[in-house]
Amino acid sequence: MKLVFFDDYKLGVLNKDETRVIDMTLTLEEIPHVGPGDYMCRLIEKWSGYKSRLQTNMLDMPGIPLEDVQLRAPIPKPGKILCMAANYLENGTLKEARPINGFLKNPSAVIGNGDTIELPPESVDIFHHEAELGLVIGKKARNISEAEAYSYVFGYTNFIDVSARGLGPKGADVFLQGKSYHTFAPMGPYLVTADEVPNPQDTNVKLWVNGGLNQDYSTSDMGHSIPKTLAWLSSITTLNPGDIVALGTNHQGLGSLQNGDVVERETPGLGRLTVHVSEPLKREWPRGVDHAMADRMRG
């Protein structure tokens, strides 16, 4: 099933051929929530009670043509966004995975399809896109084993871990400045339930800037697998329904972001996420793939 927020944050699902949005407001309005921020998380928490009703409604209701709605971020304010750092083998050039590492990304930074990444005026070396597979937690997970990890996964979504390079004290952990600026977490267009993603460990991640394909890699190149990642993260902090785990990027293909850019992101079955870039100072960086960055990250 493909879950969406649309227009003024109505909850809906896509029909089978993905051409129409079916408004599920009446089915889901009884779920206690404060606003869009926590609504999807609460639905995920109570999923077993709603899944079959949504499936039934999907067949009965006509829906609205997809082109007539404005899609929103499927999880506008997750409880947490946990990101994996340097978690790819860089197209197999590394002999082994780098030491496992990650960071928390600002959950208020989420934007959705059609929204705009607003680059801050800070003196950075460069702003990069990082296309990532976003995983959505389905059940409270604390100290889980790798063997049971997938049973805690609710679904997947396209994610872009927008990054600012060169800020903060040298040698220190500067993920806050590097990753957490407002609007630096584009996600969507849908949240796709796990049953529709047969092999998340072998799927494709693509990202285009202004139509030029920059990133194109398989999640089979991941350093620490999805089960290993979830076991490690849950050994540190409790994962809750609706939390996002961004599984890291392959740096072979990162490129600059600058004013006016259109960024598109696609993984089979997850739809295409399109966002814009705004940068008031209109600074310019080389366009296309950042080969120096790619070389630094290769084994």
Partner 1 sequence: MKLVMYNDFQLGLYQDNQVFNLSESLTEINAPTPQDMINAVITDFDSTYRARIQEIAGKVQPIPMDQVHLRPPLPRPGKIVAMAANYMESGALKEPKPLNGFLKSPESVIGEGATVVLPAGHQAAVFHHEAELGIVIGKTAASISADKAYDHIFGYVNFNDVSARGLHPNSFLWMKSHDTFGPMGPYLVTADEVADAQNLQIRLWVNGDIRQDYNTSDMGHKIPKMVEWLSSIVQLDPGDLIASGTNHQGLGPIQNGDVIEMEITGLGRLTVNVKDELNREWHRGVDSDIADWVAGRSSEPPAWAKR
Binding of partner 1 by 77 (CB under 8 A): yes
Of the CA atoms within 13 Å of residue 156, those in its CB half-sphere come to 25
Distance of closest approach, residue 83 Cβ to partner 1, in angstroms: 9
What is the secondary structure of 245-281 as a DSSP string? Answer: EE-----TT-BB--TT-EEEEE-TTS-EEEEEEE-TT
Q: Of residues 36, 63, 79, 269, which one binds partner 1 by CB under 8 A?
A: 79
Per CB under 8 A, 106 contacts partner 1 = yes
CB of 30 to partner 1, least distance (A): 12
Of 241 and 253, which CB lies nearer to partner 1 in the complex structure? 241
> Minimal distance in Å, beta carbon 144 to partner 1?
12
Contact region for partner 1 (CB under 8 A) — 51-59, 97-105, 125-133, 146-154?
97-105
| Smaller CB separation from partner 1, 180 or 258 | 180
Q: What CA–CA distances, in Å, run from 94 to 87, 98, 290?
A: 11, 8, 19
CA 134/CA 163 separation, integer angstroms: 16
Closest CA to 81 of 146, 126, 130, 33: 130
Q: Measured from the CB of residue 63, what is the shortest distance to partner 1 in angstroms?
A: 28
| Distance of closest approach, residue 258 Cβ to partner 1, in angstroms | 20
Stretch of 11-19, 27-35, 59-67, 198-206 contacting partner 1, by CB under 8 A: 27-35
Nearer to partner 1 among residue 91 and residue 108 (C-beta): 108
User: Which of 11, 85, 149, 153 is the binder for partner 1 (CB under 8 A)?
Assistant: 85
Determine how β-strand 244-246 pairs with β-strand 81-84.
parallel
- If binding is defined by CB under 8 A, does position 32 make contact with partner 1? yes
Is 82 near partner 1 (CB under 8 A)? yes
Residue 142 in the binding site for partner 1 (CB under 8 A) = yes
The least distance separating partner 1 from the CB of residue 257, rounded to whole angstroms, comes to: 17
**Positions in 210-249 near partner 1 (CB under 8 A):** 235-238, 240
Distances (CA, A) of 141 to 90, 91, 236, 243: 29, 31, 11, 10
Structure tokens at 255: 């490129």
Contact 204, 268 (CB under 8 A): yes
Q: At what angle do helices 47-60 and 36-45 cross, to 10 degrees?
A: 100
Binding mask 157-196 for partner 1 (x = CB under 8 A): -----------xx--xxxxxx--xxx--------------
Among 26, 34, 59, 147, binds partner 1 (CB under 8 A): 34
Distance CA 19, CA 36 (A): 23
A 10 A CB-CB count for 271 gives: 23
β partners of residue 193: 155
Residue from 48, 123, 143, 199 binding partner 1 (CB under 8 A): 143
Cβ nearer to partner 1, comparing 47 with 103: 103
Nearest to 135 by CA among 69, 203, 213: 203
For partner 1, the binding residues (CB under 8 A) are 32-34, 38, 42, 77, 79-80, 82, 85, 99, 101-109, 120, 142-143, 168-169, 172-177, 180-182, 235-238, 240
